Amino acid sequence: MKKRQLGSLKVSEMGFGCMGLNHHRGLAKDRNEMIKVVQHAFDLGVTHFDTAEVYGPYTNEEIVAEAIKPFRHEIQLATKGGFKINGQDYYPDSRRGTLRNAIEGSLRRLKTDYIDLYYIHRVDPNTPIEEVAETMSQFKKEGKLLHWGLSEASADTIRRAHAVLPLTAVQSEYSIWWRELEKEIFPTLEELQIGLVAYSPLGRGFLTGKLSRADISSENDNRAELPRFTEEAFEANQVVLDLLESIAKEKGATIAQIALAWVMAQRNYIVPIPGTTKLHRVDENVRAVNIEFSKDEMTEINTTVDQLEIMGDRYNSEQTDRVGK
């Protein structure tokens, strides 16, 4: 697998999002099987793995730690902090004491001395981002992190943070059915030479073409709460799958592979982090790196994408209040 540059950090051109191993994606799976999934991704060339303290909370990092133990120093490990966690409830909190507890807890659970890429998971409106950057600078001096980033931040916040301590990456949702980043975030990242880590590049599973409403009925699956996953939206957004399917037939690929290849084709500083709990899906996802589009093909596809009408917001009102700060 080729490499891509996230700011000053070089990673595999496709990463692996670990959240779904045990968080928000249905009933808990067998721990040993999830470890095998992560290790299989590494065997196929993936070196960038992404987790967070709030996934579980906490237990996702523990699973990841066990999975990456044989090759910890051969990968670029990312995790996230910046929430005050109370049971299953959490809210943004980037005060220095909270962040210190968070990163030290992550280091302990991940059984590592350093984090390659540490994100502020959501921007805390009550803590100046400059103060947060100074905290990250201190952690960097202490060797706790090598690079830092922001998740779901506005262009203004990115600029202010970067001015204090250069950001390596911004992580945000990005896919063929969620393209808001192209307006303000892309130009900002290009100007400041910051990478983009695209989570949910498969639209939380919808863009595989395999997802049904029944698949998201579990109590541990947050997709049922999202406006984009109502029964009406499921039907209306079939137009996206129809487009992907037509391209997939031409390329001899799957719908999911086209969705991932499309993300990677938009900019050379974008690294998608699809997640899965199935070995064969890891194989399928990784093969997307071999799909290429000509300039004319991409122009034609994006012209069609521009005309699609997607139904439903990606988040409910409460969750929307936490993004784009």
Q: Could you report the per-residue pLDDT of 175-226, keeping only the tens digit for each?
A: 999 999 999 999 999 999 999 999 999 999 999 999 988 888 776 788 888 9
What are the φ and ψ backbone dihedral angles of 225, each rounded to 5 degrees? -85, -10
d(CA 260, CA 207): 9
Confidence at residue 222, expressed as pLDDT on a 0 to 100 scale: 83
Confidence at residue 314, expressed as pLDDT on a 0 to 100 scale: 92
Confidence at residue 219, expressed as pLDDT on a 0 to 100 scale: 67
Confidence at residue 320, expressed as pLDDT on a 0 to 100 scale: 66
Confidence at residue 315, expressed as pLDDT on a 0 to 100 scale: 83
d(CA 197, CA 260): 13
Strand-pair category, 270-272 with 195-199: parallel
- Nearest Cα neighbor of 148 from 128, 130, 162, 131 is 162
The active-site residue out of 55, 114, 118, 119 is 55
- How many Cβ atoms from other residues are within 10 Å of residue 274's Cβ? 29
Confidence at residue 82, expressed as pLDDT on a 0 to 100 scale: 97
- Calculate what percentage of the chain has a pLDDT beyond 90: 89
d(CA 203, CA 219): 20
Tell me how many degrees the CA angle 293-40-63 measures, rounded to the nearest 5.
120
The rounded Cα 62 to chain-centroid distance in angstroms is 19
What are the φ and ψ backbone dihedral angles of 33, each rounded to 5 degrees? -65, -40
Tell me how many degrees the CA angle 107-108-112 measures, rounded to the nearest 5.
55
- Nearest Cα neighbor of 128 from 152, 179, 84, 164 is 164
d(CA 306, CA 302): 6
DSSP letter for 26, please.
S
- Nearest Cα neighbor of 38 from 58, 19, 13, 59 is 19
CATH architecture entry for 3-320? Alpha-Beta Barrel (3.20)
Confidence at residue 316, expressed as pLDDT on a 0 to 100 scale: 76
Alpha-carbon distances of 32 from 63, 190, 216, 258, rounded to whole Å? 9, 40, 23, 30
Residue type (1 letter), 174: Y
State whether residue 221 is helix, strand or coil: strand
Confidence at residue 322, expressed as pLDDT on a 0 to 100 scale: 74
Confidence at residue 295, expressed as pLDDT on a 0 to 100 scale: 95
DSSP letter for 175, please.
B
Confidence at residue 80, expressed as pLDDT on a 0 to 100 scale: 98
Domain ranges of the chain: 3-320
Strand-pair category, 16-17 with 48-50: parallel
Confidence at residue 24, expressed as pLDDT on a 0 to 100 scale: 76
Confidence at residue 110, expressed as pLDDT on a 0 to 100 scale: 98
Q: Six-digit token pair at 290?
A: 């071999």
Q: Catalytic residue at 55?
A: yes
Low-confidence ranges of the chain (pLDDT < 70): 219, 317, 320
What are the φ and ψ backbone dihedral angles of 185, each rounded to 5 degrees? -75, -45
d(CA 62, CA 265): 33
State whether residue 245 is helix, strand or coil: helix
